[in-house]
Amino acid sequence: EVDLEACCVDGAPAVVKDGNAVEVASDTTAASTKAGESAQGSDASSAAATASRARWASGFAMALLAGLLFGWTFDMPILLMQCAKALKEDPKSSTEDGGVGCHPSMRGHVSENPFNYVFSHFCGIALTAVVVLATYIVVRRERAYMPREIVMPSVLSGVMWGVAQAAWFEANNLLSVSIAFPVISTLPGMVALFVGFMFFGEFRSKRSRVFALVGLGLRVPGVILIALSNGSQ
């Protein structure tokens, strides 16, 4: 027998059955529960969105820094080669360009040959790579991603890059940096774009394909104009 006398159990509506209070679920209680779950889900979604934006911002900043360093990679060798050329033409010349002082005392210590700077250039890159790798291992620890199967492809890629980088020194010397740099930095990216699309299934979404085509539309005319400007000189 159920007594319809109203009472409550822990603040929830109830009825009295055989002298004992029995909790009865109500629409209000169910709605409150759903509202709490919705609020928790909203908080989790907001936190995930904030973390995603933070990762995007940090990745964007690191990409800008990498691009800045990439643009500076030949500055020092080129300035030293210019100094060697100036001292060859005028042994008493003394100029300062880009923070590198070209003084007569440097005669015999700088060279116009770009390959004389390749070894020191590569040593700096190797040292930087070691520091970055060590920092990555210290920060990530057991979560560091370093599978053995990528070691040999990485070495092969480094050998190919080293040959291309050495040839880039000579291209800068023959064509000038203003022509060689944009051409050489653009064409490998276009090749990588094609290989990624044909063999690795990249650019599956319409949005990624649109961005790739827009990038090509900006790069290709630029390279053509640079090549034509060099041929007209």
- 63's tokens: 């990409």
The closest of 2, 46, 50 to 24, measured between CA atoms, is 2
When pLDDT is averaged across residues 115-122 and rounded to a whole number, the result is: 92
How far apart, in whole angstroms, are the C-alpha atoms of residue 105 and residue 138? 44
In sequence order, what are the residues at sequence separation of 6 or more whose Cβ sits closer than 8 angstroms to the Cβ of residue 82? 97, 102
Please give the DSSP secondary-structure letter assigned to residue 176.
Answer: -
Q: Is the pTM of this model over 0.75?
A: no
When pLDDT is averaged across residues 23-35 and rounded to a whole number, the result is: 52
Q: Write the pLDDT tens digit of every residue in 131-188.
A: 999 999 999 888 888 888 888 998 999 999 899 999 999 988 888 887 888 888 888 8
32 has pLDDT over 50? yes
Where does the pLDDT of residue 200 fall: very low under 50, low under 70, confident under 90, or very high at 90 and above? confident
